[in-house]
Amino acid sequence: MAEDNIEGVLERINADRYRWVDIQYTDFLGFFKTVTIPAKSLDTDSFKEGVFSVDRKSVSYTDGDSVTLIPDAGTFAVIPWEPSTVRFIASTTSPVDPRNTLGKLLSRDQKLAYSIGTEVDFYIVDAMVTDSSKFSYGAYFDARELAMSQYDGEFQQGARRFETMNADVGRAIRLQIGDYADLCGVDVAAMHHEKGRLQHEVALGAVPALKAADNLMTVKHLAKNAAMLVGAMATFVPKISDSEPMSELHINISAWKGGENAFFDMESGKPLSQAGYYFLAGIADHMRALSAFLLPSTLSYKDLTNVEKAKGLGKVYRIPFPLRGERDKRIEYRLADPTANPYLAYAALLAAGQDGISKKLSFDDRREVMPPRSLAESLSSLLSDHDFLKGVLSDDALHLYVELKEKDIKESYSHTSGFEITRYQNI
């Protein structure tokens, strides 16, 4: 980290008299966490040796010595709704720190630099009502947009994709998210209403891979706070109800070598360069194992029609038309959702692509694939196919991840759903 960057940040904090600093970090499963410290306690050593120690469980869910938060000066931003507070995103000294995992992957291959842009779906609701009594366990959502879909007791179609004005009652919150993102240095490429009632999308511009992961975590945090500040709620759960579409995460990857896009080849006349097809072949080969990181929740598999549609590779990836030529050439991976921890997800995706390049794997776009139909299937695939992650994710980290996800599966099986009660009540 450049010394002058650290000094510049400290000078700004002192000059503008910021009083508090949020140190934000992401735990192993993708939850964003914050420790607030006095701004006066920051100095140059803070960015080298760390600023605060937290218990290991808050990062890795395991017992052990505490770990230190080490802020990245390049992630400096002012908290938009708290003008006396700034934030930094931190890595930790935990051996399974997800941000360090992505950093390790990026430092491993010096030949290519990767840029990532993301399109993330989410829902904005007015309230989530939960019931976890001893007799039931469930949740339902309410929102003004749902009320606007009713007329004289009959259902009317609500706002849909790219809807505008009166039917798009979440627009004001969406614009607030965009304003907050701009103030935090996050490049928003586009925002719009999505297919589902209450569903929205924010598309983030392509930036270096580590910053892309930071940006996604930041936007999720901003969305939740923008909604909360007006009495609403933003949720990135992949399946909000039986009737509404899944929330997805589309990941756009480009690779650069010597300032030129390595996935672009004008002379071949093909959609991708040979390196691009090798990269895509690696992703296709490891797709089932990748799903453990890209579709990492039990809710990620609730819409089995999506899985059936994804049998063809064309539903798993896309090569978008490059509107701006070479600089816009990219591979879009589509089989992911917002519950993914972006640091682990991006590291796994890039590792799979690098495996394809190093082995010069052959890509066949007519190949039929069958994505995992459950989180258990994804984890099983990961356990049998993880050599491509060597040097990025240790065996201990891999088995810890599987163990934590298997715990999610067991807990989901132990709770009764309203659907199950309705189906079997009269048997």
pLDDT tens per residue across all 427 residues of the chain: 466 689 999 999 999 999 999 999 999 999 999 999 999 999 999 999 999 999 999 999 999 899 999 999 999 999 999 999 999 999 999 999 999 999 999 998 778 999 999 999 999 988 766 665 555 556 666 666 654 544 444 444 555 665 665 567 788 999 999 999 999 999 999 999 998 888 999 999 999 999 999 999 999 999 999 999 998 999 999 998 888 889 999 999 999 999 999 999 877 778 899 999 999 999 999 999 999 999 999 999 988 655 555 555 667 888 887 767 777 899 999 999 999 999 999 999 999 999 999 999 998 877 777 889 999 999 999 999 999 999 999 999 999 999 999 999 999 888 777 777 777 878 8
Domain boundaries, the chain: 3-94, 106-424
Strands 85-92, 20-26: pairing is: parallel
What secondary structure does DSSP assign to 53-102, as a single string?
EE-THHHHSS-SS-EEEEE-GGG-EE-TT-TTEEEEEEEES-TT-HHHHH
Strands 249-257, 331-333: pairing is: antiparallel
Fold matches, 3-94 and 106-424: no
Of 112, 88, 86, 110, the C-alpha closest to 99 is 88
Structure confidence at residue 196 (pLDDT): 86
Q: What is the pTM of this model?
A: 0.92
Surface-to-core class of residue 426, CB atoms within 10 Å of its CB (0-12 exposed, 13-18 middle, 19+ buried): exposed
Of 119, 117, 295, 253, the C-alpha closest to 195 is 119
Collect all residues with Cβ–Cβ distance below 8 Å to 230 and sequence separation of at least 6: 172, 173, 176
Of 352, 370, 415, 389, the C-alpha closest to 135 is 415
Specify the CATH superfamily of domain 106-424: Glutamine synthetase/guanido kinase, catalytic domain (3.30.590.10)
> Which residues are paired to 123 by β-bridges?
199, 235
Structure confidence at residue 191 (pLDDT): 95
- Cβ proximity of 46 and 71 under 8 Å: yes
Alpha helices in 135-286 (DSSP H): 144-147, 171-183, 209-228, 274-285
Of 355, 363, 359, the C-alpha closest to 277 is 363
The whole-angstrom separation of Cα 371 and Cα 307 is: 6
> Which residues are paired to 202 by β-bridges?
120, 191
Structure confidence at residue 137 (pLDDT): 56
CATH of domain 3-94: 3.10.20.70
Structure confidence at residue 57 (pLDDT): 94
Phi, psi of 345 (to 5 degrees): -65, -45
Structure confidence at residue 425 (pLDDT): 78
